[in-house]
Structures are given as structure tokens and as C-alpha cells.
Amino acid sequence: MNMENIYLAIPLAPLFGAIVAGLFGWKIGRAASHWVTILGVAVAFALSMLVFKHIVIDGAETYNKTVYVWMISQGIQFEIGFLIDKLTTVMLVVVTFVSLMVHIYTIGYMKEDPGYQRFFSYIALFTFSMLMLVMSNNFLQLFFGWEAVGLVSYLLIGFWFKRETAIYANLKAFLVNRVGDFGFLLGIAAIVYFTGSLDYMTVFGQADTIASQNIEIFAGVPWSAMTVVCILLFIGAMGKSAQVPLHVWLPDSMEGPTPISALIHAATMVTAGIFMVARMSPLFELSATALSVVITIGAITALFMGLLGLVQHDIKRVVAYSTLSQLGYMTVALGASAYSAAIFHLMTHAFFKALLFLGAGSVIIAMHHVQDMREMGGLKKYMPITYWTSLIGSLALIGFPGFSGFFSKDAIIEAVAHSDIAGSGFAYAAVLGGVFITALYSFRMFFLVFHGQERMDEHTREHLHETPAVVTVPLILLAIPSAIVGWYTIGPMLFGDYFGASIFVLPEHNALAAVGESWHGPAGMVTHGVMQPPFVLAMLGVFTAWFLYMKRPDIAESIKNKSGLLYTMLVEKYGFDRFNEIVFAGGARGLGNLFWRNGDVRLIDGLIVNGSAKTVGWISGIIRNVQSGYLYHYAFAMILGLLGLLSWVIYSS
């Protein structure tokens, strides 16, 4: 079969499902809507596996071709094209697999929702957009996918559009992403400016020319063009992948239904920024400054967002802050030039974070949409499948040796230790500290939900039972890769030449190579890992969680009471929200009011629009009096006209 048709079919199958469910969902009904979208995504998944076999196992050549030329403007091609290499293949498999799981899970989660068909249409549309993003071979299509996933994210966060908080959250997500996207767009514009092309390969081929140029944004201050380009692109990634300070939208996005929190705001869309930076590695490698920025931002996100997870009561928000923190880890890996480690962690994280979200969703279904952990506890005996799968997810998250998260997280930590880019010292401390924090909040949540006293009310308790198969089967299917995928993939992905030419690392930045020198297979890594500080820290975190929340809850309470300022700071999320609300939102509203009152109401409406209308009306009222009704006036006008024309003839000749 022609591979090009397969590549086309992968994004188009979900798009077909989305269109059918979206436009005809009201007609074909609920079951048909979920069948058509699930089939679409299942086809995409099956074909992705085929591509995986074709590219990875059979080792076929990288495919890079234009499918359709939209237009050519001043020599710049605007086109749709696919670049299918091993990096793309990983993303294809992860995206379609998680999406498929989430689709199935949604049948159970959204069972009673009136917007059932709409929801399926949106998530299938999301899958299409995300696939277009990762399969792109040019910046235009990348940007299209980037904006399209942002749009669907917006629609899904506000899925319950009658909830005030949901509307607030989706507006916030939209606005914050706008800031990031603006930087991203400027970055693409800068690339076009320097290279005159939107095609990846052409741009990468001219990377040295960009790096050799300077740009003066402020007169007299020359900046390296490559640094400017990379930082602008990274601002886009900061918005999409929720890095400090553009992270504020992600916790609020939890207003959306849980399946999309798993799919969009944990596993796939938020990792688009990570993917993009990895894809652009030939550019980022040439700017040490940009890499330093990346690693610093990532480290701040990894540590400080994890801390916020400690004080949350909403089960989904804990997972959300955990996502932020893990995205920070990936960004740190990017900054340390360990792009493959970032993608590796992206993959493992997609599995276990989707699992954790869906597990949380399963708990929420059982609890009749109560999300506050203070009203849970002791769910283990009611929901065994959810319990065990969540345990696997949590162990993977904290990096328990042998689980997938262990391999990817330890690889990142090791890579940072070997990196000598500016900022890597701070980053190392942050990611190491983050391990403890991760374990602490993960197991705090785990213990509060599944162990200890049953704090829910009587009515809820009576109805507690394990969720249906459409929910638990995806949990189990996700738990399998969460547990074992690291064993099989770490070797080729990190230390083999899996990515080949997809990722470019300068020799002097190659921290992973240094790690690889002392690497002797996954089993060796596990035995070695047990004696390393990350493992000790993680165990310490689990123990602390158990001690504070199971054994002696009173100590937790008194710590909370005594650490007044610190606690307030955490609850207030370091004041980012308040700052944005007062300075940016308030400022923008003030400015808008100013222009509206003076510019729009007074000048444009008052003077120009209404003023001119009044003037015309006034003139009209006067001239109409010429039409007196008297015959001799009319005849006189004709004579005047004749005289006018005659005098013109005499004058002009």
C-alpha cells in the first residue's frame, strides 16, 4: 500500500469522525456518534502502528514531501506536507493510543451529558489537529495545528459553557496562549525573514547562516539572530506547554471534563511545546543562551509548580500541578540538550499521566462528581481496579525503579548532572528536590483518596462501586505501558541511534552521551538506581506522605498552621493570578475603556459617523427646498444648467 495514502489517512480519519459527529450527531444519535469517532481514531492508531513498523522496525527512509501547495507568495511556499521520521512516529503512536483510550473512556464518563455528540466531535477534531501538528514538515502547518489544538482546547475547557468558572477558565487559557502564540508567530516570522522559507529542512540547512547574523531590535544592541529566533519560538512553547510564567491557564483548565484533562492537558497538547523544541533542535543547539533560558524556566516550573500540588484539595488540580511540574522536567531536559530524554519522558508521562487523570476521573464518577479529596478516603475496597491502576500510575510518576517514569526521570536528572550549560547547576538542584516533592504530593493524594477514614456522606457511600468496563479497560490498557514501556524503549531511544537525524545535538552539549558511557542496560539501571539519591528522595517523600496524612494527620495540620506566610503563598499560587488580574487584565480593561470612551464614542461615533450623517441630513434638508413645485423654477434651473455648459464650452475653447 502506498505510504503517502496512509500518512494522509491518519489525520483525515479522525477529521471525518469529527465532521460526522459534529454536523450530523443530532441525527445519527449518541451511539453512532461515538462509534464513528472511535473508529476514526482506531483507524488512525492502527495506521500509526503500521507506520511505526514501516519506519522503525523496517527502517524505511524518512518521508518528507509536500502534499498540497496552497499558495506561493513572493517565493515563499505555503503548503501542506508531511515529515515522517522516528520522532514523528513516536508522537503518532502516543497521540493516537492515548486518544483512543480517552475516546473509549468518554463513553462512560460523559454517559449522561446532553452534549455527548459535541464532545466526541471535539476530541476527534483535536486528534486531527494534533496529528497535523506532529506530522508537519513546515512551519505554516505547524502553526495551523498549534492554533487548531488551542482552539479545541478552548472549546473543551468551556465545554460546560453554562458554568461561569468554565467560561472564565477557557477565556483565560485562550488569552494566555495568545501571548505564547504571539511569540511563536514572531519566531516563525523571524525564520522567514532570515531564510525566506517555511520548510523545516530548508530552514535547518540554513541554520548556520541565521546563527552568524545579528539583529538589532533596539538600536545599538546587537543580538544573535539565532537566540532571538529560539527564544521567540520557546515563548510559544511556554504558552502551550505551560511554563512559568505562562502556566496560569493549565490548573484552571481542569474545569473541562476529565477525559480532556487527560488527553489534552496532560498527555498530548501541552507536550506540543516540548515536541516543537525537540523538532527545532538544529536551531536551539546553535544558541547556548536560548538553551540556558530553556533550562532555567524548566527548572523553576519543575520545582515550584510541584510545591503547589501539596496544598490542593481538588483531586484534579493535584494532578494538574503534577503535570506542570513534569512538563518542567521535560523542558529541563531540552535545555540540557537531552532532547531524546525529553521526548522519552513525554512518552512515558503521556501514559502514566493519562492513567492518573482517568483514574481520578473514575473516582469522580464513583463519587458523583465530587472532586474534593477531603470528602474521600478508603476507596480502595470499593474500587479495586481503579486503586491498583492508580498505584501503578503513581509509582511511575514518582520514578519507582522499574516503572517507566523511573527510566525517563532518572535519565533527565543524570543528563542535567552531566550538562555544563549555564543554569544547569540550579536545574540539577531543582529536579532533585522535585523528586521528593513529586513523591510527597502524589502519595498524599493517593493516601487521602484510597486509604484512611471514609469521609464521604452516607448517601454517597451507599452508591460507591467500581466504574463500568468502558472506564476500567482504558485504565488497565494505560497501566501496562506505564509500568513496562521504559524497559524496552530506553535503550534505543536514549542511548541507541533511534532518533538518528531527527534530533541534532552538538558534541559539546551532548550530556546524554556522557550518561550513556556508564549505561549497561535497563536492569543495571534499576539496580544502580536503588542506591542513588533520587530513589532515596522519592522513598522519603512517600514515607513523609504516609506519616503526615495517615499516621499523624495532626502534624500536617499544625505544620499548615505554623507556616502561615509560606502556606498562604502556596495557596495563592505565588500571586501569579492576582498579578495578571490586576496588571494585565485590569490594565487592558482600563486602556480599552479609555479608547472606547474617547476614541470610539466621542471621535468615531460622535464626530465621524453620526457627525457626518447629521451633516448630510442637514444639507439634504436645505437642498430639497430647491424643489419648490413651481414650473418656472424648474425651467429656470434648466436654463442655468444650459448656461453653465455653454460658458464652459466658451471658456475651454
Neighbours of 463 (CB within 10 A): 11
Q: Which residues, including other chains, have CB under 8 Å from residue 81's CB and lie 6 or more apart?
A: 64, 65, 66, 67, 68, 136, 137, 138, 141, 199
What CA–CA distance (Å, rounded) separates 207 from 285? 10
CB-nearer residue toward other proteins: 453 or 627: 627
Residue of 2, 561, 649, 651 that binds other proteins (CB under 8 A) = 649
SS3 of residue 318 by DSSP: helix
Using the rule CB under 8 A, is 533 a contact of other proteins?
Answer: no
Taking the complex as a whole, how short is the minimal distance between the CB of residue 621 and other proteins, in angstroms?
5
Residue of 218, 520, 620, 651 that binds other proteins (CB under 8 A) = 620
Using the rule CB under 8 A, is 651 a contact of other proteins?
Answer: no
What CA–CA distance (Å, rounded) separates 302 from 325? 4
Using the rule CB under 8 A, is 459 a contact of other proteins?
Answer: no
Residues 400-439 that bind other proteins (CB under 8 A): none
Rg (alpha carbons) of the chain, rounded to whole number = 30
SS3 of residue 65 by DSSP: strand
Tell whether the torsion through CA atoms of 44, 46, 49 and 55 is positive or negative: negative
Using the rule CB under 8 A, is 111 a contact of other proteins?
Answer: no
**410 and 400 in contact (C-beta within 8 Å)?**
no
Using the rule CB under 8 A, is 648 a contact of other proteins?
Answer: yes
CB-nearer residue toward other proteins: 531 or 623: 623
What is the distance of C-alpha 100 from the center of its chain?
Answer: 18
Residue of 462, 465, 621, 651 that binds other proteins (CB under 8 A) = 621
Using the rule CB under 8 A, is 73 a contact of other proteins?
Answer: no
**Region binding other proteins by CB under 8 A among candidate stretches 185-193, 319-327, 468-476, 621-629:** 621-629
Residue of 111, 313, 381, 633 that binds other proteins (CB under 8 A) = 633
Residue of 59, 75, 507, 629 that binds other proteins (CB under 8 A) = 629
Taking the complex as a whole, how short is the minimal distance between the CB of residue 625 and other proteins, in angstroms?
10
**Region binding other proteins by CB under 8 A among candidate stretches 123-131, 261-269, 554-562, 637-645:** 637-645
Residue of 255, 387, 635, 651 that binds other proteins (CB under 8 A) = 635
**427 and 296 in contact (C-beta within 8 Å)?**
yes
Largest separation between any pair of C-alpha atoms in the chain: 114
Q: Which residues, including other chains, have CB under 8 Å from residue 486's CB and lie 6 or more apart?
A: 348, 402, 403, 404, 405, 406, 407, 408, 522
**116 and 33 in contact (C-beta within 8 Å)?**
yes
Angle at 449 between CA 251 and CA 564, to 5 degrees: 60
CB-nearer residue toward other proteins: 480 or 613: 613
Residues 600-619 that bind other proteins (CB under 8 A): 613, 616-617, 619
Taking the complex as a whole, how short is the minimal distance between the CB of residue 603 and other proteins, in angstroms?
19
Task: Measure CA of the first residue to CA of the last residue in the chain; give whole Å.
Answer: 82
Using the rule CB under 8 A, is 646 a contact of other proteins?
Answer: yes
CB-nearer residue toward other proteins: 571 or 646: 646
* Residue 214 cell numbers, joined: 545579528
Chain residues binding other proteins by CB under 8 A are: 613, 616-617, 619-621, 623-624, 627, 629, 631, 633-635, 637-638, 640-642, 644-646, 648-649, 652-653
